């Protein structure tokens, strides 16, 4: 592959960084992106931050395009806002609490363009607190209905081989924009959490692949916006998002096949979070999942009867009981719907089922 000039990269790749109150992380993140070998266009989508995030960008990074949303609409909406401003063939979605190695973007681009059926490629995400340990080497999804990061907390040198993964973590992943236009953007009913697994799952149904590239290095602080790995806010979202994800992506027969394991997975999670004092949040999350499914069914039925797209503001589409009041009138940019079963996608479903079982073994036996 021949060398690509800085000018060419700007025509090929856009870096999209959603930000919410990331004041202490933004400068290191942007410095690492802007000082790298690949000088791509950079868009920061600020999700109604109340700190000095926007001031830092406006004062110190005049070359960075800043889109200011008036309130916190969640990761999915902010990511979509940046992606919809993208005019290049590829988009590199990056968390604000990260820094990247100088050739990271270049390595992701090379990996993605080597495989014409690849939709996304994820970087090797290392813990910023302990760079010798993996933060995320690709996301897996298993028949228990669990998503989990590959290699979390394990020695980084065990994950030096590129390969296929179930889905790419949107905290450090490059995507083909033409495929996003084909299969849809991040579903904003998720608000945040699992929207990237949903997108990767959708791509696999359509026969595309998600890849992992260990030569592309990203250092990740982790939980910068939510505050911790487990908290009532997160556990009030994840179970519902997961139920919604399964509803949209699994055909009826496939869901019936996996239903006993999904039920077992929920029972295990319920007991786990009850022991952590988060049982109520988890149960409310499941209730929210039921509401999300009904929301999608209603919108689909309305469209079938010719009523056109039915959209409520983002927090209402996401069925949030508490939300940023500034977003009460902000409409979503993209809402997903149940993927209609088509015979041509049968190979994709069969491959996915094999992965669900294989990933169950990986999750249980490490």
Dump pLDDT digits (tens) for 74-133.
999 999 999 999 999 999 999 999 999 999 999 999 999 999 999 999 999 999 999 999
Contacts of 120 (CB under 8 A, 6+ apart): 112, 167, 168, 173, 174, 175, 176, 200, 203, 210, 211
Closest CA relative to residue 190, chosen from 33, 276, 76, 82: 76
Q: Is the pLDDT of residue 229 over 90?
A: no
- Asked which of 37-51, 76-90, 249-263, 307-321 is least confident by mean pLDDT, the reply is 307-321
Mean pLDDT of 197-225: 93
Give CA–CA dist 303/311, Å, rounded. Answer: 11
Domains of the chain: 9-220 (3.90.550.10)
Closest CA relative to residue 22, chosen from 216, 222, 238, 237: 222
Dump pLDDT digits (tens) for 290-332.
999 999 999 999 888 887 777 999 999 999 999 999 999 999 9
For the chain, percent of residues with pLDDT exceeding 90: 90
- What pLDDT is attached to residue 199? 98
Mean pLDDT of 277-282: 96
Q: What is the number of alpha carbons within 13 Å of residue 301 lying toward its C-beta?
A: 6
């Amino acid at each position: 592959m021949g060398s690509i000039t800085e000018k060419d990269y700007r025509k090929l790749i856009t870096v999209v960084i959603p930000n919410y109150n990331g004041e202490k992380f933004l400068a290191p993140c942007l410095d690492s992106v802007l000082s790298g070998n690949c000088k791509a266009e950079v868009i920061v989508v600020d999700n109604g931050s109340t700190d000095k995030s926007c001031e830092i960008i406006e004062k110190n990074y005049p070359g960075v395009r800043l889109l200011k949303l008036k309130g916190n609409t969640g990761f999915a909406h902010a990511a979509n806002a940046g992606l919809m401003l993208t005019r290049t063939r590829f988009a590199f979605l990056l968390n604000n609490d990260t820094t990247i190695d100088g050739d990271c973007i270049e390595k992701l681009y090379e990996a993605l363009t080597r495989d014409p059926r690849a939709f996304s490629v994820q970087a090797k995400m290392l813990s910023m607190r302990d760079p010798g340990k993996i933060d995320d080497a690709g996301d897996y999804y298993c028949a228990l209905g669990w998503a989990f990061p590959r290699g979390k907390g394990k020695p980084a040198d065990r994950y030096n081989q590129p390969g296929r993964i179930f889905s790419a973590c949107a905290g450090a992943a490059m995507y083909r924009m033409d495929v996003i236009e084909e299969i849809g953007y991040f579903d904003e009913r998720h608000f945040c959490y699992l929207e990237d697994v949903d997108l990767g799952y959708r791509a696999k149904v359509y026969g595309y692949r998600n890849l992992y590239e260990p030569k592309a290095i990203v250092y990740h602080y982790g939980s910068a916006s939510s505050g911790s790995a487990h908290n009532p806010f997160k556990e009030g979202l994840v179970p519902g998002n997961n139920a919604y994800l399964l509803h949209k992506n699994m055909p009826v027969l496939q869901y019936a096949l996996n239903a006993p394991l999904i039920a077992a997975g929920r029972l295990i999670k319920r007991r786990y979070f009850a022991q952590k004092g988060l049982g109520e949040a988890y149960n409310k999350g499941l209730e929210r999942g039921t509401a999300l499914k009904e929301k999608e069914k209603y919108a689909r039925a309305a469209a079938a009867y010719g009523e056109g797209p039915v959209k409520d503001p983002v927090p209402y589409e996401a069925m949030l009981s508490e939300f940023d009041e500034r977003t009460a009138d902000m409409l979503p940019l993209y809402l997903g719907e149940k993927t209609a079963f088509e015979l041509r996608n049968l190979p994709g479903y069969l491959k996915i089922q094999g992965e669900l079982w294989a990933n169950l073994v990986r999750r249980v036996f490490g």
